Chain A
């Protein structure tokens, strides 16, 4: 379980997170919506310990991330797969090497036969051919880079998957492919997922629950149905942007 309790973060004078409370239950997929610059990615980076909160607690599997020592933080990160917005693939390394880096068990990482088999399996899970392994990131399309990024994140068989804008910059067809992939990975691997996104329709397709982060706070969280029925002005504004000015039935 992932839990954020009264998390506060500011950069300079700008308050990014202003007392965020959020709980993500085992096995569920949570979509985190919000306008640009509201701190969705910052929130995600708190979970994996890339950013430390100024105040409050980030608790993963019962452990407070800020208090973990170097070794324990490393162990925790091995249970979390993180999919970066632009893939964050290592340009100088092939797709094979990129995905191999995701194999967090050191003994398995050094076993070439295991790595080849595992990389091929991870590529297959994201609907990419084994031949992709020999390519370099510069030779891939935007959608393929995102899928390789997901492959790398799942290579270490994580317990949690964090997606940072997995469909940004993609055309609708590729966005749908990625959304389906998020859904199938959550169902197939049983992982707990948090997906930061702008894409409201994608969030409704993939998530068990949806949260809206705006003004540094979670203003609404609930199932897609509850979210649709929300009367919170920020939620209405967000929904009407994507679905038009319609009245949603509860």
Chain B
């Protein structure tokens, strides 16, 4: 008697998963290759890049300030809760500045922007795909990469690090103000603590992370939008996929960069 068809045979789903993954990598590489090929069409992408920079920078500024402000305040309040009398007060300054600049500023900003910018780009390009607008560009002999992808990726790569700098400043300031409500920390203690363990590389590290996250958000969301299928449902799937994939990649990159740049 033959064995019943193996319901636990994982070869088929695993194979399908691997093939799908490789197909994504291939299509993503083609898109990046197309971007590289059309980078010379600066007359096309430059004006659109300024528009996108305005959309990302000005449009995202309020939410970034709000999130980083609360992150700084909560970090300060939790520090106050855990603080015992045996630790010098200036350490609070170190904790808040390093937490915000190294981790919370770039990561929280990137996660918020993955939702705001990533969802928007995936939905925009996805709608353009299902309504044949991208096909129309191609039939007009124009490159969708120089018209749609390069401006978005460049604008993100420039503006997201700028937003992270603002997030860091606002987060540290909010932490400074908030900690004084729970601990008897003077301004001199705080600034001394902030400076004593500060290295200029911390600021560079924050910007490097922001730059990596920016590329991750914009490239993934443009890719997902570009490969949208099946009408409105497809646009919804692409948008969700863009946000989820961007968030996961941000966390992976966060770990990878910490290992590569801080723990050599």
Binding site for B on A (CB under 8 A): 45, 48, 50, 70, 74-75, 77-78, 80, 82, 84-86, 88-91, 101-102, 104, 110, 152, 156
Question: Is the CB of B187 closer than 8 A to any CB of chain A?
Answer: no
Given A84-B132, A86-B131, A89-B133, residue A101 in contact with residue B142 (CB < 8 A): yes
Q: Which of A82, A85, A91 contacts B139 (CB 8 A)?
A: A82
Asked if B140 is at the interface of the complex by the 8 Å CB criterion, the answer is yes
What is the interface of chain B mostly: helix, strand, loop, or mixed? helix
Determine whether the beta carbon of A50 is less than 8 Å from that of B140: no
The answer to whether A85 touches B132, judged by C-beta atoms less than 8 angstroms apart, is: yes
Contact A78 B135 (CB under 8 A): no
B binding-site residues for A, Cβ under 8 Å: 37, 43, 128, 131-133, 135-142
- Our pick among B37, B43, B139 for the contact of A110 (Cβ within 8 Å) is B43
Q: Which of B133, B135, B140 contacts A156 (CB 8 A)?
A: B140
- A88 close to B43 (CB less than 8 A): no
Q: Give every chain A residue within 8 A of B131 (Cβ-Cβ).
A: 86, 88
Besides the contacts A86-B131, A86-B132, what 12 more A-B pairs have beta carbons closer than 8 Å?
Answer: A50-B139, A74-B141, A78-B141, A82-B136, A88-B131, A88-B133, A88-B135, A88-B136, A101-B137, A104-B140, A110-B43, A152-B136
Chain B residues positioned under 8 Å from A152 (CB to CB)? 136, 140
Complex Cα spacing A75 to B137, Å: 14
- Given A84-B132, A85-B132, A90-B133, answer yes or no on A48-B43 (Cβ-Cβ < 8 Å): no
Nearest-CB residue, chain B, relative to A85: B132
Closest to A103 in B: B140
List, sorted by A's number, 19 A–B pairs whose CB atoms are closer than 8 Å. A50-B139, A74-B141, A75-B141, A77-B138, A77-B139, A77-B141, A80-B139, A82-B139, A84-B132, A86-B131, A86-B132, A88-B135, A89-B133, A89-B136, A90-B128, A104-B141, A110-B43, A156-B140, A156-B141
A43: min CB distance to chain B, Å: 15
| Shortest distance from the beta carbon of A155 to any chain B beta carbon, whole Å | 9
Top 3 A-B pairs ranked by shortest CB distance? A88-B136, A82-B139, A88-B132
Selected from A75, A101, A110, the residue in CB contact (under 8 A) with B140 is: A101
- Distance between Cα atoms of A90 and B144 in the complex (Å): 12
A77 and B132 within 8 A (CB): no
CB distance from B200 to the nearest CB of A (A): 42
* Residues on A with beta carbons closer than 8 Å to the beta carbon of B137: 101
Beta-carbon nearest neighbor of A106 in chain B: B43
Docked CA distance A101–B133 (Å): 12
Residue of B nearest to A51 (CB): B135
Of listed B43, B128, B131, B133, residue having the most chain A CB within 10 A:
B133
CA–CA, A84 to B136, complex, Å? 8
Check if B140 sits within 8 Å of A102, measured CB to CB.
yes
Nearest Cβ on chain A to B31's Cβ, whole angstroms: 14
User: Are B140 and A84 interface neighbours, CB within 8 A?
Assistant: no
Question: Separation in Å of the A94 CB from the closest CB of chain B?
Answer: 14
| A45 CB contacts on chain B under 8 angstroms | 135
Which residues on B sit within 8 Å (CB–CB) of A48?
A: 139
- B47 nearest CB across to chain A (Å): 11
A104 to B8, CA, bound (A): 56
- CB neighbours of B141 from chain A (8 A): 74-75, 77-78, 104, 156
A242 smallest CB distance to B (angstroms): 27
Q: Are A50 and B133 in contact (CB under 8 A)?
A: no
Task: Pick from B138, B141, B142 the residue with the most CB of A within 10 Å.
Answer: B141
Complex CA–CA separation, A93 to B142 (angstroms): 16
> Is there contact, CB below 8 Å, between A50 and B43?
no
Q: Bound complex: CA of A110 vs CA of B41, how far in Å?
A: 12
Q: Which residues of chain A are within 8 angstroms of B43 by Cβ–Cβ distance?
A: 110
CA distance A91 to B125 in the complex (A): 12
How distant is A66 from chain B, measured CB to nearest CB, in Å? Answer: 15
User: How far is A225 from B128 in the complex, measured between Cα atoms in Å?
Assistant: 41
Which of chain B's residues has its CB closest to A162's CB? B139
Most chain A beta-carbon neighbours within 10 Å: one of B136, B137, B138, B142: B136
For the complex, what is the distance from the CA of A54 to the CA of B142, rounded to whole Å?
A: 25
CA distance A89 to B131 in the complex (A): 9
Q: Which residues of A contact B140 (CB under 8 A)?
A: 77, 101-102, 104, 152, 156
Q: Decide if A84 touches B135 in the complex (CB within 8 Å).
A: yes
Nearest-neighbour CB distance to chain A for B51, whole angstroms, equals 9
* Complex contacts, B139 vs chain A, CB 8 Å: 48, 50, 77, 80, 82
Which residue in chain B gives the minimum CB-CB distance to A84? B132
* Beta-carbon contact of A50 and B142 below 8 Å: no
- The distance in angstroms between the C-alpha atoms of A126 and B135, with both chains bound, is 22
A121→B139 CA distance, assembly (Å): 21
From A110, which residue of chain B is reached at the shortest CB distance? B43
Closest partner residue, chain B, to A76 (CB atom): B141
B127 nearest CB neighbor, chain A only: A91
